[in-house]
């Protein structure tokens, strides 16, 4: 018994004046030999006719080959709406390709090409950055108007929502803030003691821990904790409401979404951040005191040295920054939730973006405050 020989698949481009012919020959099989392409494939032209006289058996590898060529040529053509000619192809193959070409290609599925210039990518990144900045400023303006309505008694939101958010931002956050602040105080004390012992000045570990906590570490670490904990919760809650069209329902019933959703969260976090910052400062100092007791510094001496190194100016800098950090965290979380898409995947993405945006804004704000305090010599 003899089997029918398989001919290797081939594709040849032939130009005859204005007519461009694609000749297909051989057996097109997935497990067969590699396709041999001859002739100069046009970069911006689609075939006008097909020659199938030598075409043998074929499976899905043939429509995949044709579809890939159609997409690559169409992506570089000036007229993106031009459809390839399918006349001359077998009826089943023609119907399959027509169905595939009827679905537009999604931009996310296309791979980046080397044709994209570095300057073009830089321009897109710049436009995206300024677009995000403009979006944040617009949201900040709407938030300011909402606060103004609250000050004149025209903002409406449920008091129970405010107290619930206040508890979530305050009492519920105390354990994690205490843990992180205590460990930060321990770390600062250990590092400071290693260096100051060389000069016989390990008592000044109290000054190092106290000043570092009240000026920077207490408020920054508290803000980062609240970014990962509270900003994410705000974005997830509001994003879920948007996905379920609850925000549209609020507008239908005459409620302003900013007054009803953003304002209570903003007020709660702005009120709680200074208290959490003071709490973090005290816990961090106690952590440093614990290390001091291990290295031979009596707790009474450590506490007195801490009080002597801190004045009202140093003690108030972190509290002042915490108000702005709290407003930034609340606005970042609420903005990402309000701008989230109407799907579960979009809600998760908005939650991630809220954490990243709030932490980035905190670092930028802290740098600006550091520069201002340096210029003011405080």
Tokens of 244: 């379920």
Quick one: pLDDT at residue 178?
A: 94
What mean pLDDT is predicted for residues 29-35? 79
- How far apart, in whole angstroms, are the C-alpha atoms of residue 178 and residue 275? 12
Beta-sheet pairing, 55-58 with 49-51: unpaired
Neighbours of 176 (CB within 10 A): 14
Higher pLDDT among residues 290 and 24, named by residue: 290
With bands split at pLDDT 50, 70 and 90, how would you rate the model's confidence at 45? low
H-type alpha helices, 152-262: 159-169, 174-196, 205-212, 218-226, 232-243, 246-252, 257
H-type alpha helices, 43-117: 61-76, 91-101
Q: What value, to the nearest 5°, has the Cα angle with vertex 357 and ends 239 and 186?
A: 115
Q: Which of 337, 362, 357 is nearest to 347 (CA)?
A: 337
Q: Is 245 exposed, middle or buried (0-12, 13-18, 19+ CB in 10 A)?
A: exposed
Quick one: pLDDT at residue 3?
A: 47
With bands split at pLDDT 50, 70 and 90, how would you rate the model's confidence at 255? confident
Note the maximum CA span of the chain.
Answer: 104
pLDDT in tens, 166-218: 998 889 999 999 999 999 999 999 999 988 888 888 888 999 999 999 999 99
Where do the structural domains in the chain lie, given as residue ranges?
Answer: 10-109, 131-375
Residue 292: pLDDT over 70: yes
- How far apart, in whole angstroms, are the C-alpha atoms of residue 337 and residue 238? 5
- In the block, which residue shows the tokens 């980035």? 360
Quick one: pLDDT at residue 78?
A: 52
- How far apart, in whole angstroms, are the C-alpha atoms of residue 310 and residue 285? 12
Residue 289: pLDDT over 60: yes
Q: What value, to the nearest 5°, has the Cα angle with vertex 140 and ends 139 and 144?
A: 120
């Amino acid at each position: 018994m003899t089997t029918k020989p398989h001919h290797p698949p081939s594709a040849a481009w032939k130009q005859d004046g204005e007519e461009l012919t694609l000749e297909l020959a051989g057996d097109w099989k997935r497990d067969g030999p590699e396709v041999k392409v001859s002739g100069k494939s046009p970069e911006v032209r689609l075939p006008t006719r097909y020659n199938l006289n030598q075409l043998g058996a074929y499976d899905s590898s043939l429509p995949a080959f044709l579809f890939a060529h159609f997409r690559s040529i169409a992506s570089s053509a000036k007229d993106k709406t031009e459809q390839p000619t399918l006349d001359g192809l077998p009826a089943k193959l023609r119907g399959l390709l027509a169905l595939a070409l009827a679905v537009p290609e999604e931009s996310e599925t296309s791979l980046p090409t080397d044709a994209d210039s570095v300057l073009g990518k830089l321009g897109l990144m710049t436009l995206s950055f300024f677009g995000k900045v403009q979006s944040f400023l617009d949201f900040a303006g709407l938030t300011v108007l909402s606060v103004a309505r609250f000050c004149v008694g025209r903002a409406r939101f449920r008091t129970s929502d405010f107290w619930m958010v206040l508890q979530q931002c305050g009492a519920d956050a105390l354990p994690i803030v205490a843990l992180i602040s205590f460990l930060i105080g321990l770390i600062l004390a250990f590092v400071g003691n290693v260096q100051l012992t060389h000069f016989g000045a390990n008592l000044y570990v109290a000054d190092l821990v106290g000043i570092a906590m009240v000026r920077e570490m207490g408020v920054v670490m508290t803000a980062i904790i609240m970014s990962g904990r509270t900003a994410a919760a705000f974005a997830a809650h509001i994003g879920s409401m948007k996905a379920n069209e609850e925000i549209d329902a609020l507008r239908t019933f005459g409620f302003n979404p900013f007054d009803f959703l953003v304002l209570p969260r903003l007020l709660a976090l702005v009120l709680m951040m200074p208290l959490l910052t003071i709490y973090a400062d005290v816990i961090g100092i106690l952590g440093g005191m614990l290390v001091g007791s291990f290295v031979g510094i009596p707790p009474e001496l450590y506490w007195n040295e801490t009080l002597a190194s801190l004045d009202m100016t140093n003690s108030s800098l972190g509290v002042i920054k915490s108000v702005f950090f709290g407003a930034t965290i609340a606005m970042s979380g609420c903005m990402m939730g309000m701008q989230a898409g109407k799907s579960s995947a979009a809600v998760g993405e908005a939650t991630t973006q809220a954490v990243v945006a709030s932490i980035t804004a905190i670092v930028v704000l802290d740098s600006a405050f550091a520069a201002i305090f340096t210029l003011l010599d405080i």
